[in-house]
Amino acid sequence: MSYDFFDCEVRDGVATLTLLGPSAPSLQDLGDELVDALLRLQEDRAARVVLLTDAGGPFDTAMDLRAAAEAQAGDAGMGAVAADLDTIRRVVTLMQELGKPIVAAVAGDVRDSGFGLIMAADVRLAAATATFTTQDLRLGLLPDWGLTSTLPRAVGPNRALDILWSGRTLSADEASRLGLLDRVFTPQEFEQEVEAYCRRLAGIPQPALRLSKLAVQQSGEFDLTTMLSLEYEAQQQCWDSRETTAGLMAGLDGDEPDFGIPGSEDED
């Protein structure tokens, strides 16, 4: 797949989306490409895991502040930002509904909307060099990319408000202590550890990955009795899967399972 604002490569079961360039693309342009990529990867049997990475450079996206300021001052309605918000909603919804794990791995400066984008991932990994800054609320607009949901779920409501209101930059170490990151690695081990993590996910039967993601997402909505019933039904789907058969037999023999992952697809 070929895009203007990120590279997309599928190899050994891992689809890597790497944001390109030091300058931030517009929300609309980047969002449209992300929507297209996620829809394609959902159907791509070669892509078992999605890795979203910054390649060590700045990771952010930009709202057209001039257009927004002129429209707001001129009482022209929310047309200047409505398209961006709609694109954001589509991307985050697709990320949540994608039946494959999405791993965000960053090593550079993550700021503004880029912060919300990585928070929408299922797992967040970082090098110790990474920093994190939310959108500046002094602009008078709320943070987007679902941050009002993902941030308090990760750190609690009080800390979420402090991060949003203070506008301070968090180091990778502090972000990890607060619960924003799942793992932090030294710069020397970062790429190797991220690759190993994604390869492990690619080696898990897809039904188990998809259904565990769904169950965890719904865990806050239902009581234990309901979740036990959901687990039972999900286990039946796993049991009927050929990949589970391969996983069980490989585990019995002490081997790595072979799911017959198709070769990498790199198409326009």
d(CA 31, CA 118): 13
Least confident of 22-26, 87-91, 130-134: 22-26
Helix/strand/coil percent split, the chain, to 5: 50, 15, 35
pTM of the predicted model as reported, rounded to 2 decimal places: 0.85
Collect all residues with Cβ–Cβ distance below 8 Å to 31 and sequence separation of at least 6.
61, 84, 87, 88, 90, 91
The pLDDT tens digits of the residues spanning 46-105 come to: 999 999 998 766 666 656 666 677 777 776 667 667 778 888 899 999 999 999 999 999
The pLDDT tens digits of the residues spanning 143-201 come to: 888 999 999 999 999 999 999 999 999 999 999 999 999 999 999 999 999 999 999 99
pLDDT, greater one: 160 or 142: 160
Structural domains in the chain? 6-201 (3.90.226.10), 205-253 (1.10.12)
Mean pLDDT, rounded, of the chain: 85
pLDDT at 218: 85
Collect all residues with Cβ–Cβ distance below 8 Å to 67 and sequence separation of at least 6.
80
In three-state secondary structure terms, 33 is helix
